[in-house]
Structure 1
Amino acid sequence: MDLVELLQQAQRLTNETKMDTEMPGVERTMSQVLQATQELHSRVTQTGTNDLQAHILLGSKGVDLPQLTQKLETLSARQSFEPLDPVTDTDVQGYLKNERENAILSVIDETNRSIFEAVERQKWRCIYAEWGEEKELLLNALVGPHQEDFPDVQRQMVPTAMADEPTPFSRLSVIQQLYAKEISAYNVLHIQGTQRTNLVSTFAQLAQQSFDDSLVAEMWNVLVFMADVTPLSRNIDPIKSRQSAPQFIIQARTYLERRYKTYMNKVIGRNLVVARRGGIPNVYNLVGSYVGVTFQRGHSLCGLHDVTDGRPLWPLVYYSLRSGDMGSAVRYLREAGTCPDLLKLMTLQKMGDRDPSTAKLEGQLKLEYNNKLHVCTDPYKKAVYVVVLACDPHDTHVELMRSIDDFLWMQLSILRGQDKRDYNIEQLTYSGLQSLILDKYGENYFNAREKTPLYFQVLALTGQFEAAIEFLARTEANRPHAVHMAIALNELCMLGTPSSVKQPLLSAEPDDPSPMKRLNLVRLIVMYAKCFEQTDTEQALQYYYLLRHFKAEDGTNAMLNCVSDLLVENCDDRMLELVFGVADESNPFRFKGGIFDEFHTMDCDKYSLAGMVGDELSKRSNYESAIKLYFIAGQLDKALRLVCSLLSQVVHQPPRPGSMRERLGEVTKQLDAALAERKTDVEAHVIVTYTVLTQVMEFFDLHHAGESRLASEILTNNRLIPTTSFEVDECVSNLKRMGSEIIKVLPDILLAAMDIVYEEYVNQRGSSGSGSVYGDETKSENKESLLRHLRGRAKALTNMAASVPYRMPSTTNQRLVQLEILMH
């Protein structure tokens, strides 16, 4: 092999080993290759194969591992949630840094907590959803389409049957129906003029006999007792009368005293052996037996004064006063022979003696109480002095206050009227007690939401009937009782109502004594009756009748407003017949029957009510219903005006079943019959307008039916459109004397008349060219004369459209001119 062949072979090998990618050539000697191999071997043996593989893996993904290592080394190694180092108070920069880091940490912690809670909720939501699906599958599998698959599952078919005379659905509950029945009976007695019953007593008896709820019965009993006072007059304000009359305080105390005597009898009945009850059944012996049962153990006498043979004196006196028997208290005190001054004062109070010596004696005993008895260890003795002297209203007497009744009786016992107050010492007044119950303690103190009857009784016994009823009316279960309590008190003239029916349910007048409120009875009854006025309309009207004495802002009767609103919202034929009755066959303006006929003692009869409802419906653009009401009210003038207004909008339309035009046609028949009898009650121009519109309606009926000749005769007879150009001025003058409703229909009348003329023209012209060559020349001249006459009529219509002093629609003028041109 020579050098040339060796060179060629080397070039061939070079070409075979040459790669497609262009890489820079490396020229190394054998020693350099050996040195690089040794360096690579030493590096691999030092770092290990794992680091080499990591470098290769990250390098293939484009990650520079040495640079990444440098970045990781720069990060802080301190944990993010480690406690912060404390700083001194003067280190402002450290304090701000700590606050910033604390804020960041709190945000991170709150975010983690919210995410955890959200995930937890989502987890349980999914679990419940899966459980629901599983339960649904199980229930569906229990009763499948094939009964034989589940032989143990017995299907019981319940037969259903409709009643022969089904009663309509009522939204009144059983309790509401019982109340409504009593209201209806009460209204009947009032309408008949007989003596009415006491609604408070009637409802209380109803609650006792028919309601299976002792708490409701007890609330009614409280109201009966508080309302058993001298009847008031409607000319006297109930609020001011109640605040100035002491009879309500006396009634409340008497009720609490009677209830406490009942309680003592129950205690004695459970302990007859210890009580040793005997003798005459009076308060004296009752209190003695009760005290014997209460203080039968020796430790119960600790701290008590004047104890003789295990029988304490002051509990006997206190419980005698608590039972409302001043005579028994005086008797116990006289038998003990102690406190002669107190005995003398109690004797004078029992006799009702209020001479100057009594006031002097009261002053001495108050001084003695303030000096000695204020810190007495016997709570019963201290309570007796407080009740007799009506002093020290801030003493709570916690040892004796075992119930709300005890607290309330104590407060009522120490009240003083404004005219009997001693301004040298602090005393409690009636308004002060009311503020204490309503404002200071309030609903939260008495847990009123769970103990509703208790809070109601406390308010009622303190003379705050309005606030008690409003609180009771907040809950749906007690609302029927609250509404009828308000009605019963209002019938006795004992309910304070605001001067305006627009006031909220509970409000106060500027000159009312604090904290007295006024109850808006109108709003309360309307809210109550609105729930069933559509299903039990008769019962709702009985409730609205109770509002006959109230006046709205505009002076109208509140009852009429309520009935009017009812009819405006539900003005169908069934409701109108229910309220107003049916028309008399002999007199279409007289209606017989109807619920409103029962209230014949009202200042306003059902015909005035119908007119009132018609006016309201007219304001609301419900003209069809307003026409019915005006017809019932006998106000033909208003009915005709509305009919004319509606006819002018639809009279040109083709007749369609069920359309307003068809309904107005039935109305016009009734009005025509009514006008035959009472034409003088309507203004002349209204009758003219109505008559022309009815004729126009007949014209369009004939026009749409294809009776052109009869339709043209109607227009000619009423002189609405001219037949020649000479009659244009006359027709325009007649049009000016008619109502504006005719002007609205005039464009449609002109178009319809022009269509009739054009149609006749086309027919005549088409028939004129169908004669023989030797036709009658006279016949041709007649037809030509008729065509000229039709063209003259068309010209008269266009002239009238141009002569009317009203703006005609541009489309109407264009159509009229177009048809006239086609006739030439």
Structure 2
Amino acid sequence: MDLVELLQQAQRLTNETKIDTEVPGVERTMSQVLQATQEFHSRVTQTGTNDLQAHILLGSKGVDLPKLTQKLETLSARQSFEPLDPVTDTDVHGYLKNERENAILSVIDETNRSIFESVERQKWRCVYSEWGEEKESLLNALVGPNQQDFPDVQRQMVPTAMADEPTPYSRLNVHQQLYAEQITIYNESHIQGIQRPNLVSTFAHLAREFFDDDLVAEMWNVLESMSAVTPLSRSIDPIKNRQTAPHFVHQARTYLEGRYKTYMKQFIDTNLILARLGGIPNVYHLVRSYVAVTFQRPQSLYGLLDVNNGRPLWPLVYYSMRSGDMDAAAMYLKESGTCPDLLKLMTLRKNGEAGTSMAKLEGQLKLEFNNKLHDCTDPYKKAVYVILLACDPHFTHVELMRSIDDFLWMQLSILRRQDQRDYNIEQLTYSGLQSLILEKYGENYFNAREKAPLYFQVLALTGQFEAAIEFLARTEKNRAHAVHMAIALNEISMLGAPRSVKQPLLSSEPEDPTPMKRLNLVRLIVMYAKCFEQTDTKQALQYYYLLRHFKSEDGTNAMLTCVCDMLVENCSDPMLELVFGVEDVEKSFRYTGGIFAEFHTLDCDKYSLAAMVGDELSKRSNYESAIKLYFIAGQLGKALRLLCSLLVQVVHQPPQSESMRERLGVVIERLDAALPERKTEVEMHVILTYTVLTQVMEFFDLYHAGGSRLALKILAINRLIPVSSSEVDECVTNLKRMGPEIIKVLPDILLAAMDIVYQGYVKLKGSSDTGSVFDDETKSENKEAAIRHLRDRAKALTNMAASVPYRMPSTTNQRLVQLEILMH
């Protein structure tokens, strides 16, 4: 487009814009245009002036206004718990967000409501309790001592009788007491050296006869069946033996097969007309009658193959195997004339033969199973092949699995040992089955919280005794059964225990096969016996006796450790007498009786136990109780050391009834009677310290009783304080030869001696004559000479306080100097 064309187009546009009116065109000046613009702007921007001003301001500063608007829209002013806006079904993100926040809000609301209700209940409970107490006090105040004031109120005296020494109530329930009686009988048999009973069988019989709980009896029946194998020695690890020995798999199958036979008999007894049970009472006729009742309807035969005498063949074979009778299963196959190879394999299995011919036969049958029977419509036929060939472990057999027993029996039937596995196909091993039950399915699958006995049976039947017992011990209801199951298995060397008694209740060693665990029997028994060891001490010691073979980290017998901890927690005189007996009158430091003496087969006697408890009490600074235990142990040296440590703390105190000082006085009398006979067993410096402290104790007794003369005489005899300034060095030297216990009580001795001297000075100054209580010591009848003697004695005490190699308390020095100054 050139300039001419542009000009023409401009003129054309100008002509089009001209309005065809008679009004002449008006040309506005610049001021008129500005005024019109302002008027138009004012009309347009009557609302939103602030927003426009803000946009003008931010735009002039270079702010990107559209981007800022987008950021502001994404911001949320605050998080609030307001009702959420509904979203459409297609907005998945919004829907999930709303659901999540609604769930959180509902939890918060429910928690607030429950807290409010709990507080409300607690408030009314307190109100009712207070009103009850007030009502009781008012009712008690109604009936006064005078019966005539209330003639209608009848008083009846209720005779009561209480033993002079009431025994504490036992914390053992009926089941626990029955268990404890059997444990006592078992331990007595071991101590007397006679044949011990099998605890598993004993407890199983106890549960069947005396426990009114079929589930507990069933658990003991499972354990009794699984433990009915050749006992092991304690040198063999039960965990490794359990994984390699086929006995446990056989015992589990036998138990499940026996239980299924019982079920079939009960089922037939309820349908005797249809069953038509007859012939020799064996599994063959039992299965025949059971199948006749189960498959009486035509629709129940749908999909089943082969018929024998009007009955489906493969259910007969399967239920015969399910009942544990391979002969009956082979007889049914033989009568039908079908599958001769399978019959031959069954015969070889029954006879226990193995070799190349059997492996070849298995290979042929596995090939036939994979080609023809993998999709077979008869579940019983397929199950028979799977069991005999141990193949296809992941097939569920839904039609046949009516209970957990059926599932377990099927899994146990297709197991193969690690050395018997065919690596060309997938097969199930014992450890694989255990992992399947414990780890893959676990407690949630079996609803173990509500069906604890069922989960225990599943674990026990798969050889996981430790995990089963640990699970059972979690609840208070089943803990007693779990503890005694662990004890019974440990006594026949079938319980896997950790190397250290400090391990958790359930643990595993690095070399243990997966998923086997080890149960800490020591921790389990201690946890159980702690609940009643203070009320049923004799029974608790019977349980601790079962731990005699376990050793702690320092090599100490676990039984001694448990008994020691029990006595440390309660070392009262009745408890010590119960455990150690009473002191023999004829033989000093010998004790007769006591329940610990019953365990005379232990390497440790009651005196070693007493010394062990005394050492532990001494570590915990319970010196009074430790002294009593050292007396029982006959260790006078340790008793004297602890006694000296206690005397230092209380020797200066005035005598008070039932105080530590009074109790230590009784101990001192007992020691004084025993020391002449066993003085050679105690070190000389310990005897010297003990002798001086007892003299100091006698000094303070006289001091507090007002016997000043005799008190000072005791100090002079033992050369503890000087009589004059010339004896200060001698007393300091004598003090250095004594133990540190004497140094600790020296400040109290000096203060008491200074107080006696000062009281004598005051009395002498206030008297009219020259006589005083110190006339025989000063050898002077002159009052001034006596006063000078007392002043010299006070100065000697002050000098000694400054000369001893021990920093005296500042208050002691101040008091000594103050009293000396008051005497001048």
TM-score calculated relative to the size of structure 2: 0.82
- The corresponding residue for 1:677 is 677
Match runs of 1:187-266 below 5 Å: 187-266=187-266
- CA separation of 1:272 and 1:121: change in aligned 2, threshold 3 A: closer
1:498 aligns with 2:462: no
Aligned-partner SS, 2:535? coil
- CA distance in 2 between counterparts of 1:270 and 1:736 reads 99
Match runs of 1:28-427 below 5 Å: 107-109=82-84, 162=160, 165=163, 168-427=168-427
- The corresponding residue for 1:81 is none
- CA distance in 1 between counterparts of 2:235 and 2:408 reads 32
- CA separation of 1:660 and 1:136: change in aligned 2, threshold 3 A: closer
**Kept after mapping to 1: 8 A contact 2:387/2:410:** yes
What amino acid is aligned across from residue 576 of structure 2 in structure 1?
Answer: L
- CA distance in 2 between counterparts of 1:463 and 1:692 reads 69
- CA separation of 1:578 and 1:139: change in aligned 2, threshold 3 A: closer
1:659-682 per-residue CA deviation (whole Å, 9 max, x = no partner) reads: 211111111001111112111111
**Kept after mapping to 1: 8 A contact 2:770/2:781:** no
What amino acid is aligned across from residue 476 of structure 1 in structure 2?
Answer: E
**Kept after mapping to 1: 8 A contact 2:770/2:783:** no
- The corresponding residue for 1:648 is 648
- CA distance in 1 between counterparts of 2:812 and 2:80 reads 82
- CA distance in 1 between counterparts of 2:116 and 2:813 reads 76
- The corresponding residue for 1:661 is 661
- CA distance in 2 between counterparts of 1:536 and 1:133 reads 36
Aligned-partner SS, 1:677? helix
**Kept after mapping to 2: 8 A contact 1:724/1:793:** yes
Aligned-partner SS, 2:745? helix
1:516-536 per-residue CA deviation (whole Å, 9 max, x = no partner) reads: 111111111111111112222
- The corresponding residue for 1:789 is 789
**Kept after mapping to 2: 8 A contact 1:768/1:783:** no
Match runs of 1:439-450 below 5 Å: 439-450=439-450
- CA separation of 1:318 and 1:660: change in aligned 2, threshold 3 A: same
Aligned-partner SS, 1:548? coil
**Kept after mapping to 2: 8 A contact 1:568/1:616:** yes
- CA separation of 1:333 and 1:811: change in aligned 2, threshold 3 A: same
1:549 aligns with 2:585: no
What amino acid is aligned across from residue 396 of structure 2 in structure 1?
Answer: T
- The corresponding residue for 2:815 is 815
- The corresponding residue for 2:18 is none
- CA separation of 1:294 and 1:548: change in aligned 2, threshold 3 A: same
Aligned-partner SS, 1:398? coil
- The corresponding residue for 1:457 is 457
1:799-818 per-residue CA deviation (whole Å, 9 max, x = no partner) reads: 32222122122332333333
**Kept after mapping to 2: 8 A contact 1:630/1:639:** yes
- CA separation of 1:630 and 1:428: change in aligned 2, threshold 3 A: same
- CA distance in 1 between counterparts of 2:518 and 2:156 reads 54
1:602 aligns with 2:596: no
Corresponding residue pairs, total: 727
- CA distance in 2 between counterparts of 1:516 and 1:288 reads 41
- CA separation of 1:139 and 1:608: change in aligned 2, threshold 3 A: closer
- CA separation of 1:320 and 1:158: change in aligned 2, threshold 3 A: farther
**Kept after mapping to 1: 8 A contact 2:284/2:328:** yes
- CA distance in 2 between counterparts of 1:106 and 1:121 reads 19
- The corresponding residue for 2:690 is 690
1:196-229 per-residue CA deviation (whole Å, 9 max, x = no partner) reads: 1111111111111111111110000000000110
What amino acid is aligned across from residue 431 of structure 2 in structure 1?
Answer: S
Gaps (5+ residues) in structure 1?
A: 1-70, 75-90, 148-154, 772-777
- The corresponding residue for 1:722 is 722
- CA distance in 2 between counterparts of 1:132 and 1:652 reads 52
CA positional deviation for 1:387: 0.8
- CA separation of 1:717 and 1:212: change in aligned 2, threshold 3 A: same
What amino acid is aligned across from residue 562 of structure 2 in structure 1?
Answer: C
CA positional deviation for 1:106: 7.3
Aligned-partner SS, 2:552? coil
Could you tell which deviates more after superposition, 581-590 or 335-344?
A: 581-590
- CA separation of 1:403 and 1:122: change in aligned 2, threshold 3 A: closer
- The corresponding residue for 1:583 is 583
Gaps (5+ residues) in structure 2?
A: 1-45, 50-65, 85-100, 144-152, 772-777
What amino acid is aligned across from residue 509 of structure 1 in structure 2?
Answer: E
- CA distance in 2 between counterparts of 1:395 and 1:367 reads 17
- The corresponding residue for 2:617 is 617
**Kept after mapping to 1: 8 A contact 2:721/2:731:** yes
TM-score calculated relative to the size of structure 1: 0.82
- CA separation of 1:325 and 1:93: change in aligned 2, threshold 3 A: farther
1:710-761 per-residue CA deviation (whole Å, 9 max, x = no partner) reads: 1122112112222233322222222111110001111221222222233333
- CA separation of 1:767 and 1:552: change in aligned 2, threshold 3 A: same
- CA distance in 1 between counterparts of 2:799 and 2:129 reads 81
Aligned-partner SS, 2:677? coil
Aligned-partner SS, 1:288? helix
- CA separation of 1:347 and 1:195: change in aligned 2, threshold 3 A: same
What amino acid is aligned across from residue 456 of structure 1 in structure 2?
Answer: F
**Kept after mapping to 2: 8 A contact 1:386/1:392:** yes
What amino acid is aligned across from residue 590 of structure 2 in structure 1?
Answer: R
Aligned-partner SS, 2:818? helix
**Kept after mapping to 1: 8 A contact 2:780/2:786:** no
1:155-212 per-residue CA deviation (whole Å, 9 max, x = no partner) reads: 9999966455565312111111111111111111111111111111111111111111
- CA distance in 2 between counterparts of 1:624 and 1:171 reads 30
- The corresponding residue for 2:433 is 433
**Kept after mapping to 1: 8 A contact 2:308/2:335:** no
What amino acid is aligned across from residue 720 of structure 1 in structure 2?
Answer: L
- The corresponding residue for 2:565 is 565
CA positional deviation for 1:766: 3.8
- CA distance in 2 between counterparts of 1:122 and 1:522 reads 41
- The corresponding residue for 1:800 is 800
- The corresponding residue for 2:91 is none
Aligned-partner SS, 1:812? helix
1:503-550 per-residue CA deviation (whole Å, 9 max, x = no partner) reads: 111111111100111111111111111111222222222111111111
- CA separation of 1:161 and 1:368: change in aligned 2, threshold 3 A: farther
Could you tell which deviates more after superposition, 718-727 or 123-132?
A: 123-132
1:549-568 per-residue CA deviation (whole Å, 9 max, x = no partner) reads: 11112222221121111111
**Kept after mapping to 2: 8 A contact 1:768/1:780:** no
Aligned-partner SS, 1:281? coil
- CA distance in 2 between counterparts of 1:630 and 1:132 reads 51
- CA separation of 1:101 and 1:371: change in aligned 2, threshold 3 A: same
- CA distance in 2 between counterparts of 1:606 and 1:194 reads 24
- CA distance in 2 between counterparts of 1:104 and 1:424 reads 62
- CA separation of 1:158 and 1:312: change in aligned 2, threshold 3 A: farther
CA positional deviation for 1:139: 12
